[in-house]
Structure formats: C-alpha cells, structure tokens
C-alpha cells in the first residue's frame, strides 16, 4: 500500500455507511495502516511510534468482513489514542482501564450513528460496557460479527440445513442435523449415533446422501459435549 493515506487504504474494506465517520476519526492521528494477509492468531495489531517511525503502525487482516474490519480498526485506533494520552506513563496495560475508556469513546459515535445493522449495534453497545481483548472472549459480539462472513465455497451454516440433512465438519466427522436448540443444533454423529450440539453459525460441507457409516448405529445415544466442535466458534484470533 506504500505511503497511501490511512483513509485510502481502509476505505475498500469498510461498510460504506461508516466511511465518513472513519475519515474524521483517522484525521486526528498520525497513522500508517497496512492490510495484512490473513493470520490465524490475530485480527489486527498496533505498534506505537519507535525509532525510525513517527507514526502509529496498524495492521488488519484482509479477509475480515466489513463490520469485523471496522471493529478491528476502531480497536487498534483506541490503542493509538491510549498511547497518545498516557505516553508519559509508559506502563499502561494493553487492554487495561485506560484503553477501555478510549475504545468506548471511539466506538460510541459509531454505535449511535445508525450506520450498523441493529443486531450488531446492540452487540457493540453491550461490549462497550467492558470491552475485551479478543472477539472470542465476547461471545455475543463474535457471533454478531460472524453473521456477515462470506461462506467458503461449498459450505453452508449449520442453522441453514433442513432437519434430517447430513453434513461433514472440517475434521471429517459426519452428522445428521436435528432440531435447533437456541444457538446450537442437535446433531447425531453418523456411525455412532452420539448426540452433539453444533453451533448454528459453523460452516460445514453439506452431503447429498446419507453416509454409509450411518448403518452401524441407528439408535441415538446420550448427548456428548464436543469441545472440538465448540472451539470452532468459541475461540478465534485476537486483536493486537
């Protein structure tokens, strides 16, 4: 991206309705923003001015949906604001009370401007009361943002499957979808009949026919808590 202005760099990744607000926000800081290739461990990060750099350096993953990109950008700008306000006191915790106050001040105008979908605005409003270091730590916010992710090719969300449909998860396990139970779907593992609760927002591979292993057990067994499946939506990369 070279030395392009931060606004030019981030504009293609933002929700159109939020661009004007972001332009005003970024004008108040000396920033260098870089769009990074997807990283498994973090959504974005911030580095304060240092030897050879007079600007704050922010990087954000290129594969985020527009609302996740916006939230990550505001999170990182809050780090820059915290550094500017408290730089005489260098030992400020990265996500301590000082940062939380700055993030709330930056986030509040966006939530109140009517530029976000109602469900996401409500989730962000709740998050402002005690913002966390990672999206996965704020379950409500993580799920609200996930609804705007584009599905990978050949994948659908568990909540969109018809009852009785078969699907396969990333690890290779196959299941039959049953009824929805709040945010999760009751599912039975093919071949064992074990009951699992799989989150409705998980992307899975739909199967055209019943897997042959289903014949090994037709009787459902007691529900089993699947940590592996839960982790697919219960954890994720962090902000910097």
Break the chain into its structural domains and give their ranges: 6-146, 156-234
Give the separation between CA 180 and CA 159, rounded to whole angstroms: 7
Arithmetic mean of pLDDT, 55-72? 95
Task: Identify whether the C-beta of residue 34 lies closer than 8 Å to the C-beta of residue 8.
Answer: no
End-to-end CA distance of the chain: 20
In degrees and rounded to multiples of 5, residue 44 shows phi and psi of -165, 170
Residue 88 dihedral angles phi and psi, to the nearest 5°: -65, -25
Q: Is 155 helix (H, G, I), strand (E, B) or coil?
A: coil
Residues 125-140, mean pLDDT to the nearest whole number: 72
Tokens standing for residue 193? 């009949």
What does the pLDDT read at residue 62? Answer: 96
Q: Higher model confidence: residue 57 or residue 219?
A: 57
Give dist(CA 161, CA 187) in Å, integer.
11
More confident residue, 201 or 133: 201
**pTM of the predicted model over 0.85:** no
The third-level CATH classification (topology) of the domain covering 156-234 is SH3 type barrels. (2.30.30)
- Helix 97-112 with 66-86: angle, nearest 10 deg: 130
Query: pLDDT (tens digit, 9 = 90+) per residue, 92-115?
Result: 888 889 999 999 999 999 999 888
Query: pLDDT: is 38 or 227 the higher one?
Result: 38
Residues 78 and 103 sit within 8 Å (Cβ to Cβ): yes
pLDDT greater than 50 at residue 14: yes
Residue 174 contacts residue 213 (beta carbons within 8 Å): yes
Band (pLDDT 50/70/90 cuts) for residue 138 is confident
For residue 131, what pLDDT is reported? 74
């Amino acid at each position: 991206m070279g030395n392009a202005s931060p606004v030019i760099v981030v504009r293609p990744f933002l929700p159109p309705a939020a661009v004007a607000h972001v332009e005003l926000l970024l004008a108040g800081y000396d920033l260098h923003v870089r769009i990074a290739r997807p990283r498994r461990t973090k959504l974005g990060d911030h580095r304060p001015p240092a030897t050879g750099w007079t600007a704050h350096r922010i990087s954000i993953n290129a594969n985020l949906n527009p609302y996740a990109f916006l939230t990550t950008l505001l999170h990182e700008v809050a780090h820059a604001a915290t550094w500017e306000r408290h730089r005489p006191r260098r030992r400020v915790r990265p996500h301590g009370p000082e940062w939380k106050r700055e993030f709330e001040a930056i986030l509040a105008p966006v939530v109140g401007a009517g530029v976000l979908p109602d469900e996401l605005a409500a989730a962000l409003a709740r998050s402002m009361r005690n913002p966390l270091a990672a999206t996965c730590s704020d379950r409500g916010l993580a799920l609200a943002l996930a609804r705007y992710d584009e599905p990978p090719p050949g994948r659908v969300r568990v909540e969109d499957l018809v009852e009785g449909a078969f699907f396969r998860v990333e690890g290779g396990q196959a299941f039959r979808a049953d009824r929805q139970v709040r945010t999760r779907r009751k599912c039975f593992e093919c071949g064992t009949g074990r009951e699992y609760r799989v989150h409705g927002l998980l992307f899975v591979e739909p199967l055209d026919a019943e897997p042959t292993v289903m014949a090994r057990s037709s009787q459902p067994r007691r529900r089993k808590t699947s940590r592996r499946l839960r982790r697919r939506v219960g954890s994720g990369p962090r902000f910097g």
